[in-house]
A and B are shown apart, each in its own frame.
Chain A
Amino acid sequence: MRKRESSIITFIALFVFILFVFILRDSGWSKGMRSIFEQILSPLQSFALSVSTLPSNLSTNKQLEKLQKENRNLLSRQAELERLRQDNAALNDQFALVNPKPSLLIPAKIVGMPQFVPGITYPDEIILGIGSLDGIKEGLAVVSKDQLIGKILRTSEHRSVAMLISNKNSSITVKNSATGALGLLKGMGGRDMILDNVVLSESLNISDIIVTKGDQNENGIGIAPDLVVGKIVSVSKKASDLFQSASVKSLTDVTKLPVVFVLNQ
């Protein structure tokens, strides 16, 4: 009987405490408490992630990984060349475009990958070890080199969560770097995405590189233009349909990246 009373008292006390936490969630006290927890847990979480991804990283053939990296770089270069060809040459000479500009990038260590089981599932979101105190805001783009990885979904003082572009809830406006065909890229889970809403008159070809169209507000928050999102692996085009679609595969394996960059414009 005494045990039951003790359980009820403990439950009520903790329940009331949680209510206070909810009520005072925007206060300095709550943020301070969270900040202390974050600073304690961040290195431990980062260590746990590196230990859990170790088997899959070890099993990867180094040579294959090197070739894949070279392939990614070549494809990125191809997309960059296509873009350069279409741009005004004089303007390029004047501004020496580099996309994205290194000065705008904030390095962020990946400290967590919820829903990721090595070899079985691919993450939908990644947790970054930096937060609002480091200048991270919701909606900013997350990149690796010139490739779009995702965008910031929510932040706390020392952490932030980024939704990957392959997440089923992700949807961004993109274009074919070779032909300029516009479409809507939707995440399908894993590293797969689908390019939809492309009018039939436009041309989509296998191996074409898809880049972002650009979707930023007046404060620079959003997705910058001309970031590589992936490569077309198959095209579905029927004369009876309103639009054509294509399957797009991301060129970057996020699970292999220790660090990504937040594009703060």
Chain B
Amino acid sequence: MKPSKFFLLGFREMIPIMSGTLPFAAVMGTVAADAGLSFWRTMSMNMLVYAGAAQLAAVELMTKNAASAVVVLTGLIINLRFLLYSAAMAPTLRQAPRWVQLACAHSLTDQSYAVTSAHQEKTQTNADMLQLYFGASVCMFIFWQLGVMLGYAFGNIAPAELALDYAVPLSFAALVVPTLKNRKYVLVALFSTVLSLCLHGLPYRLGLIATALPSIGLSVWLTRKGQTS
């Protein structure tokens, strides 16, 4: 596959999102260095797991010598949301070779999926959509690894007064708005907002998946027969 205009579109649309991802990756690198992990171990974890929030939780638990089962299960609960993205990408990948499916699965992140879904209406074929997805994913992969390396080497480099952590919710807002095609989508987004605030106190970051599942349930109900938009 040679880079197409959709690959470049995905790559380009991902760049502004990186203003929030890069500092988050730097935090990951800093936490790994502070936990005494070697650079080799940090980058291996980063390549093999490639899921920031789960890695942060895992390193934090490992420094406290938590049982292996607790470390792994906590990480996997945080990563359960990828099940939804896997389902969403599945129709596009039906005919794809196994190695393309694997590459696509391993590079599934909140950002790469969200950028793809925000721009998927510009694509016509599955091949276009895959190019869009891989463009976004390659950009994400490069910046993520770079951010972790910078954080590992130099500590938390982002100036505190710029509050770059705030770029993360702003990115998600920018990515969700184009997907709200009518009032039903807005209703699901509002439901998810309110429920996530109510479930915020749940341990092990369970609030996220505990919000996502009923929100998907609401979507299933809204798309019932005779209600399709």
Q: Do A and B bind each other?
A: no
- Give the B-binding residues of A (Cβ under 8 A): none
